Amino acid sequence: MGRLVIKLTIIMTVVILLFMPVNRFVKDSYDYNISHAILAFKKNPYPVDIINLGASHSMYGYYFKPTGLSHLDLALPAQTIEYDFKLLKEYGKYLKPGGVVIVSISQITFANTETKNVGNYYKILDRKDIEPFNVIDYYSYLYLPGANSGSFHSALSGKLKEFRWNAHQPWANNGKNYSERKYEDVENEYKEAVETNTIEQNVQRLKDIVDYCKAKGYQVVLTMEPVHQSYQEFLTVEVMDRLVFQYLESLDLEVPFLNYMSDQRFANNKDYFIDSNHLNSKGRKMYSWIVYRDLKKLGYL
């Protein structure tokens, strides 16, 4: 019996020693810490002039510091409009009187209903606002993320990005390979949303967000961030009408819509993009100045 206990102790010790660096690897990864800026704001909040909501295209889209505005970025990768609303209700109280809420609209806004990484919200939202919520998943994600296969794969994928095949590099074939894959993902997501009849709930949630902003006295504007020409080739007028504009028109929200998707100041310049769908640091700064000036023209600032 004593020998068995010793063997088990040795095995457990080895497992723990092997697991510790894996757990640290995941905890230090970019994807695991994707909400760190929001978490930092939550710990030390301050009044802000402008908030932006949305998914990754919005998260990489705005940097208002050079304009003198105080800014809170509430966009996260693959964020559903449902979580846009949850974050707005949680952090909107920090908007200055008459502050601006940018609601980013993308090709997947009305089709995206599945929260792919609910762990992103564990530290920045109250438990009651997280759906689905599981106590075991919650604590394992916070303290043992290395044991979560999804978190481990995300961390590993992030490290392996630089080793992608040439054909899978963001600008292979002048960005057309990436854009085609992205477009196929969008179409598949839209098809699934149509089949499951989930688009209407996103349409309603956008209306809820706009109504909430008006009730709170926030100035709200819809935006669509620039994409590279290689992606625009897939997003024709007919495609965008089907994916987005038919639903916007049906709502008749009576708020400004600043559509920069095909903005020629960005369209053919790879220097402004990480890939064909996301602005880089240079592009983000230029784009934010453009939005800033357009908001001033609207009388929002």
User: What pLDDT score was predicted for residue 217?
Assistant: 96
Last residue of a domain, one of 128, 163, 198: 163
Mean pLDDT value across the chain: 90
Distance, CA of 50 to CA of 70 (rounded, Å): 7
33-43 core/surface letters (b: 16 or more CB in 10 A; e: else)? ebbeebeebee
Are residues 109 and 120 both part of a single domain?
A: no
Per-residue pLDDT tens digits for 253-298: 999 999 999 999 999 999 999 999 999 999 999 999 999 999 999 9
| Residues 179, 46 share a domain | yes
Confidence band of 41 (pLDDT split at 50, 70, 90): very high
Amino acid at 135: V
pLDDT band at 17 (very low <50, low <70, confident <90, very high): low
Predicted confidence (pLDDT) per residue in 149-207, tens digit: 677 677 767 666 666 666 668 899 999 999 999 999 999 999 999 999 999 999 999 99
Instruction: Give the DSSP letter string of the chain.
Output: -HHHHHHHHHHHHHHHHHHHHHHHHHHTSTTTTTTHHHHHHHHS---EEEEEE-SHHHHTT---GGGT--EEE---TT--HHHHHHHHHHHGGGEEEEEEEEEE--TTTTT----S-GGGGTTTS-GGG-SS--HHHHHHHHH-GGG-HHHHHHHHHHHHGGG--GGGSTTGGGGHHHHHHHHHHHHHHHHHHHHHT-HHHHHHHHHHHHHHHHHHT-EEEEEE----HHHHTTS-HHHHIIIIIHHHHHH---S-EEE-TT-TTTTT-GGGEEETTEE-HHHHHHHHHHHHHHHHHHT--
Nearest-angstrom CA–CA distance, 250 and 56: 26
β-pairing, 95-104 with 257-259?
unpaired
Residue found under tokens 């905890």: 27
Shared domain for 196 and 237, answered yes or no, is yes
Instruction: Name which residue leads in pLDDT, 87 or 112.
Output: 87
- The residue among 16 and 197 whose pLDDT is bigger is 197
Entry pTM = 0.92
253 and 127 together in one domain: no
* pLDDT score of 25: 80
Residues 188 and 256 in one domain: yes
Same domain, 245 and 287: yes
CATH code (residue 244): 3.40.50.1110
- Give yes or no: residues 121 and 204 share one domain: no
So what's the pLDDT on residue 20?
A: 79
Question: What is the pLDDT confidence band of residue 7, given thresholds at 50, 70 and 90?
Answer: low
The mean pLDDT of 207-217, rounded to a whole number, is 97
Q: What is the rounded average pLDDT of the residues 24-37?
A: 86
Is 192 in the same domain as 261? Answer: yes
The mean per-residue pLDDT over the stretch 103-125 comes to: 91
**Based on the structure, what is the number of domains in the chain?**
2
pLDDT bin (cut points 50, 70, 90) of residue 138 is confident
Q: Give CA–CA dist 157/26, Å, rounded.
A: 11
Tell me whether residue 240 is exposed, middle or buried, using C-beta atoms within 10 angstroms of its C-beta: 0 to 12, 13 to 18, 19 or more: middle
Answer with the one of 163, 192, 221 that is the final residue of a domain.
163
Is the domain of 108 the same as that of 120? no
Give the whole-angstrom CA distance, residue 200 versus residue 198: 6
The neighbouring-strand residues paired with 222 are 103, 257
Specify whether 24 is located in the same domain as 70: no
109 and 51 in a single domain? The answer is yes
pLDDT, tens digit, for every residue of 56-80?
A: 999 999 999 999 999 999 999 999 9
Burial class (CB in 10 A: 0-12, 13-18, 19+), 221: buried
**Residue 80: burial class (beta carbons within 10 Å; 0-12, 13-18, 19+):** buried
Residue 288 near residue 64 (C-beta atoms within 8 A): yes
Does 97 sit behind a cis peptide bond, omega within 30 degrees of 0 on the bond before it?
A: no
| 106 and 122 belong to one structural domain | no
Candidate from 49-53, 76-80, 116-120, 200-204 with smallest mean pLDDT: 116-120
Report the candidate in 181, 189, 279, 273 with the shortest Cα–Cα distance to residue 234. Answer: 181
Residues of the chain with pLDDT > 70, as a percent, come to 89
Range of the domain at 215: 33-113+167-298
Mean pLDDT over 130-144 rounds to 86
